[in-house]
Amino acid sequence: MYNPISDYGLIGDTHSTALIDRDGSIDWLCWPRHDSPSVFARLLDDRKGGSCGLVLDGATGRSRRYLPGTNILETRFETSTGVAVLLDLMPVHPPDTVAEEGPDGEAESRLIRILCCEAGSVSGGFTIRPAFDYGRAEATAVPVAHGVLFAAGDRMLRATGSDTMTIEGGTATAAFRLETGMRCVLVLAHGDGDRLPLLDGTGDALRRLERTRAYWEDWSARCSYRGPYRDAVLRGALCLKLLTYSPSGGIVAAPTTSLPEAVPGKRNYDYRFAWMRDASFTVSSFARLGYTREAGEFLRFLRDSGASYGRNLRLMYGIDGDTPAQATLDGLEGWRGVGPVQVGNNAIDQVQSDIYGELLAALHDFLHAVDFDPPQKTNDHLPDTLVNLVEAALAQRGQPDQGLWEMPGPPQVMLHSQAMIWVAVTCAAAIGRRIGHPEPEVLDDWERIGDELREEFLRRGWNEEAQAYTMAYGSTALDASVLRLVIFKAIDPRDPRLERTLAAIERELGAGDLLYRYRVDDTLEGDEGTFTACAFWRAGVLAMAGRTGEAAALFERLLTRGNDLGLYAEQIDAASGEQRGNFPQAFTHMALVNNALRLQAEGVGANGGAAATSG
C-alpha cells in the first residue's frame, strides 16, 4: 500500500512543501508552513492520512521531470487512448521589489494542478480527501462557488477547478474527459479562500504557472557553479531553497516527519525544524554557489532568535524561533506500518559542542562570499558575537557530549566535537583579523589556544589499537564524522594516520560506495541504513588527499543513488538500495553540493581523474 520513499517529488513555495508520487498523488502536505499539522498524510497512513489523487483510465506508463531550472513537477502519462501531461506547482512570484530582508518571492498558499491532453483523448478524475491535523480531525465537504470547501473546525481547504465536482462523504471528485489540446485545472487553497481571489479559469492558472516558472528560472540562473556536475548541484540548491521558510529565514532539515531510518525499527523523527548544524552547512552551500541573500537570510533568522549573539546557542530551533516539543501520534500507523509517528523533537535538550564551530564556519563562508563587506544587519554586534561564541565553545573543551550523531546513553568526549571547537576558535580569529577586531590581543590569544587545541585532539583522538582516529577519546569505535574534520582542515588530508583511518573506515563502515556513520550499539531498535552524506564526504576527502581519480568515480556513482529527480533521503539501505529516513534531506543535498565544489577546487574533471590545469 505504500510507495517507496524514492517515488516522491517535491514542490513548494518557500513556506511549505508537498510530496507527490509517480502516479500524481499528493501524499504529504502541511499548511500553511513546513511544521504545520498535515492536510494530506497518506505517506504515513494509507487509510487515514488523506491525499489528493489522480486516476487516469487505461493508464499504461508514466515518466516525470522538473521543468528545467525550476521546482515545477511535470509528469507525463500514457494511456490506452492518449497522452496527458500534469504540471504541479505551488505559486511563488517575482515581486515588484525585493526588500532587504524577508521573502524574495510572493507565495499564495495555493497548489495548482494543470492537466493537458497532448494526444488522443484521456479521461479520469482528481480525488480530494483531506485529513486535517494528522488525520485527527474529520473533514466535512460542502459545495461552494466553483468547488468544494473542506472543514474541520477552524481548519479549512478550498478546492476549485475547471470541472464540476461531486461529493461523497469527505471526498470530492473532479471528473474530466479531455481531447487533444484541452486542459483542466484543480486549485487547492489553504483556508476558506476568502483571503485569496478565485482564479478566473484556466487562464489565471497558466499565468501563475508562467510567473512561477520565471521566478525559479531567474533564481537558478544566479547559480555560480559551472562545473561538470551542474545539473545535480543545481537540483540540490533548488531543493535547499524549497526547505527555507522565507518569512523568518529558517531552513528545515527535511519537510517530513517519521519516515523510518530502520525497517523494521523505531528510528523515526520529526525533521521539520532548523538544526544549527544542518542549516549552517546549507548556508555554506548557498554562499559558495553565489546565493548570498539566502545565506544572509539564515543569519537574520539567527539574529532574530538571539542565537547569532552566541548566548544560549541551541542545537535546533523551530522555524520561527520557537521550541518544538516531542509527542507521539498514535492515530497514524507510519510508513509501511513502521511507527511511531512523531511531532516535535527532543534533541533540543542534548549538548552538542560542535554547533559553535558549525556556526562560525558558516559565518566565515558567508563573509568570504561578500568579501567581508556584509550588510549592516550581519555586521551588527559582530565583534561581541565572536567573543561570545568562542567563550561558549571553549567552555566545552574536554567536556563529554552526545556528539554529531546525537548518540543516546552517557556522553563521551567526542573527537568531532573537540575538533569543531578548534574550528570555532580558528574561524573566529580569521573573521576578527579581516573585520579589524578592536582587540587584536584577543585574536592572538585565540590563535595560541587554537594551536593547543589542535595538538590535543590529534593526540587524544588517535587510537593505536584501532590504528585510526576514532569516535571518542579512548574509544576504538570508528566514526565517519572524522571525514568532516578533514574537510574543515582540522586533520591534514595527507596525514599518514588519516590514510590508515580511511582504510579502517572503508573496511569496517563501508558497504560498497556507501558508508555507515558508525557501527556501535546505540541501544535504538532496528538497524539503520548507510548515511548518504558520509559517502559524499568520502569523495571530497579522497580528492583532498590527491586520489582524484577515485574521488571522481565515486562521486559520479553516488549521483546515481538519488531518485529519478535527483532527490535523496538521509540514508540508503545497503541491501535493497532503497531510500531511508526523512525525504528529501538537506544534510545530504548540502553534502552533494559542497563536495562537487570541493572536487572542482581539487581539479577533478567530469570523466574521472584530475582535470588539466595550466601553469
Cβ-contact 344, 412 below 8 angstroms: no
The pLDDT score that the predictor gives to residue 195 is: 62
Residue among 419, 378, 373, 406 at smallest CA distance from 283: 378
Q: Which helix (H) or strand (E) holds 483?
A: helix 482-487
Q: Is 542 a residue whose pLDDT tops 90?
A: yes
| Residue-range domains of the chain with CATH | 5-219 (2.70.98.40), 222-601 (1.50.10.10)
Three cell numbers written together for 328: 507521539
The pLDDT score that the predictor gives to residue 611 is: 39
Angle at 206 between CA 74 and CA 180, to 5 degrees: 65
Q: Is 324 a residue whose pLDDT tops 80?
A: no
Report the DSSP beta bridge partners of residue 187.
112, 160
User: pLDDT by residue (tens digit) across 3-49?
Assistant: 999 999 999 999 999 999 999 999 999 999 999 999 999 999 999 99
- In angstroms, rounded to a whole number, what is the distance separating the alpha carbons of residues 282 and 295? 8
375 — pLDDT class (breaks 50, 70, 90): low
Q: What is the mean pLDDT of residues 433-443?
A: 88
The pLDDT score that the predictor gives to residue 294 is: 92
Residue among 124, 189, 195 at smallest CA distance from 163: 124
Q: Give the single-character DSSP code of 199.
A: P
Q: Between these two residues, 345 and 604, which has the higher pLDDT value?
A: 345
Other Cβ atoms less than 10 A from the Cβ of 210: the count is 10
Looking at the chain, the whole-number percentage of residues with pLDDT higher than 70 is 94
Q: Return the minimum-mean-pLDDT range out of 15-29, 181-195, 447-461, 515-529.
A: 181-195
The pLDDT score that the predictor gives to residue 608 is: 44
Cβ-contact 84, 56 below 8 angstroms: yes
Cβ-contact 579, 563 below 8 angstroms: yes
Q: Between these two residues, 407 and 506, which has the higher pLDDT value?
A: 506
Cβ-contact 72, 89 below 8 angstroms: yes
User: pLDDT by residue (tens digit) across 204-236?
Assistant: 899 999 999 999 999 999 999 999 999 999 999
Q: Is 429 left (phi over 0), alpha (psi -120 to 50) or beta?
A: alpha
Residue among 561, 470, 583 at smallest CA distance from 3: 583
Q: Is 613 a residue whose pLDDT tops 50?
A: no
Q: Is 376 a residue whose pLDDT tops 70?
A: no
Q: Give the single-character DSSP code of 93.
A: E
- What value does the mean pLDDT of the chain take? 92
Residue among 596, 594, 593, 588 at smallest CA distance from 533: 588
Helices 382-394 and 355-369: angle between axes, nearest 10 degrees: 150
The pLDDT score that the predictor gives to residue 303 is: 78
Q: Is 299 a residue whose pLDDT tops 90?
A: no
Q: What is the mean pLDDT of residues 319-323?
A: 78
**CA atoms within 13 A of residue 449's CA, in its CB half-sphere:** 23
The pLDDT score that the predictor gives to residue 372 is: 77
Q: Is 318 a residue whose pLDDT tops 70?
A: yes
Angle at 586 between CA 584 and CA 590, to 5 degrees: 125
53 burial via Cβ count (<10 Å: 0-12, 13-18, 19+): buried
Q: Chain-centre distance of CA 491, in angstroms?
A: 27
User: pLDDT by residue (tens digit) across 279-296?
Assistant: 778 888 999 999 999 998
**CA atoms within 13 A of residue 73's CA, in its CB half-sphere:** 31
Angle at 577 between CA 572 and CA 582, to 5 degrees: 35
Cα dihedral value 24, 26, 32, 38, nearest 10: 180
Cα dihedral value 131, 133, 134, 138, nearest 10: -40
Three cell numbers written together for 528: 539503520
Looking at the chain, the whole-number percentage of residues with pLDDT higher than 90 is 77
612 — pLDDT class (breaks 50, 70, 90): very low
Q: Return the minimum-mean-pLDDT range out of 131-145, 279-293, 458-472.
A: 279-293
480 burial via Cβ count (<10 Å: 0-12, 13-18, 19+): buried
409 — pLDDT class (breaks 50, 70, 90): confident
At 262, which amino acid appears? A
- In angstroms, rounded to a whole number, what is the distance separating the alpha carbons of residues 34 and 270? 11
- In angstroms, rounded to a whole number, what is the distance separating the alpha carbons of residues 344 and 271? 8
Block residue for cell numbers 568579501? 371
Q: What is the mean pLDDT of residues 256-266?
A: 96
- In angstroms, rounded to a whole number, what is the distance separating the alpha carbons of residues 529 and 580? 7
Q: Return the minimum-mean-pLDDT range out of 98-107, 186-195, 573-582, 591-600.
A: 186-195
